[in-house]
Amino acid sequence: MTVTSRTIVRQGIAVFFGGSQYDSIAKAYRGSGPLLSSGLSTVRAYQPKRTPDPDYVIGQAAGRGMGALMVLEMPETRDEVLTVGQIPASAGGQRHLIYPVTCHVFHMAHEAYAEDAEQDVDELDQAIHELIYSDPTLGGVCYQAGQNMAGIRSLIDPSDLWKEITVTHFRVQFEAEVQIVI
């Protein structure tokens, strides 16, 4: 039987976006992902209790003044057994697992103009979409992501200004699909 699990898929997605440099103390992938040049500094497979400020900017070019971190959410599993005729699933059937994924992206900017921060958010959102399209297997963790009728969706919340810091939250949502032989 081919083995997969929510944990394997979640960790694989975190590596895909965050790179292979894992900080076991922070429990995060930091400063090495393919979207580092687009401002994504840290990826967390699970929601942390605390988010230190360096998570937003670790690995960013000096003077960039802004950066982002991503936290993955997988709120559901859809599990379908696929069999042919009267053959029981245990005798060679397949399972189709669908994991709806939400990438919560938190962007923080120390910029003179909020418009510059928002442009950076737009560009990071686009870079996330392009990365998924460049490898819909998310590094081999699934057979397709964002390729079904649901596609890839983004929702960008209005920014908050807090003592000259522009903070924006946005979500990128897609479904990661896995098929296994049982």
pLDDT in tens, 44-98: 999 999 999 899 999 999 889 999 999 999 999 998 887 655 455 456 678 889 9
Cβ–Cβ under 8 Å, residues 1 and 95:
no
Residue 2: band (very low, low, confident or very high) from pLDDT cuts 50, 70, 90: low
Answer whether residue 16 is part of any domain.
Answer: yes
CA separation for the pair 41, 31 (Å, rounded)? 5
Answer whether residue 75 is part of any domain.
Answer: yes
Answer whether residue 143 is part of any domain.
Answer: yes
Residue-level pLDDT at 95: 84
- What's the mean pLDDT when you consider all of the chain? 91
Query: Looking at per-residue confidence, does 1 or 53 come out higher?
Result: 53
Residue-level pLDDT at 137: 97
Residue-level pLDDT at 91: 61
Answer whether residue 1 is part of any domain.
Answer: no
Residue-level pLDDT at 11: 97
Copy the structure tokens of residue 116.
């510059």
- Report the 10 Å Cβ neighbour count for 147: 18
Answer whether residue 29 is part of any domain.
Answer: yes
Q: How many domains is the chain built from?
A: 1
Residue-level pLDDT at 86: 47
Cβ–Cβ under 8 Å, residues 94 and 179:
yes
Residue-level pLDDT at 159: 86
Answer whether residue 105 is part of any domain.
Answer: yes
- Rg, Å, the chain Cα set: 18
Residue 81 is part of which domain span? 6-181
Answer whether residue 11 is part of any domain.
Answer: yes
CA separation for the pair 34, 179 (Å, rounded)? 26
- H or E element: which one contains 13? helix 6-18
Measured at the CA of 17, the angle between CA 117 and CA 36, to 5 degrees, comes to 45
- Contact partners, residue 138, CB within 8 Å, separation at least 6: 12, 13, 16, 132, 145, 176
Stretch 20-25: mean pLDDT, rounded? 94
Cα distances (Å, whole numbers) of residue 89 to 2, 3, 81, 86, 180: 13, 15, 7, 9, 11
Residue-level pLDDT at 56: 95
pTM of the complete model: 0.91
Query: Looking at per-residue confidence, does 134 or 160 come out higher?
Result: 134
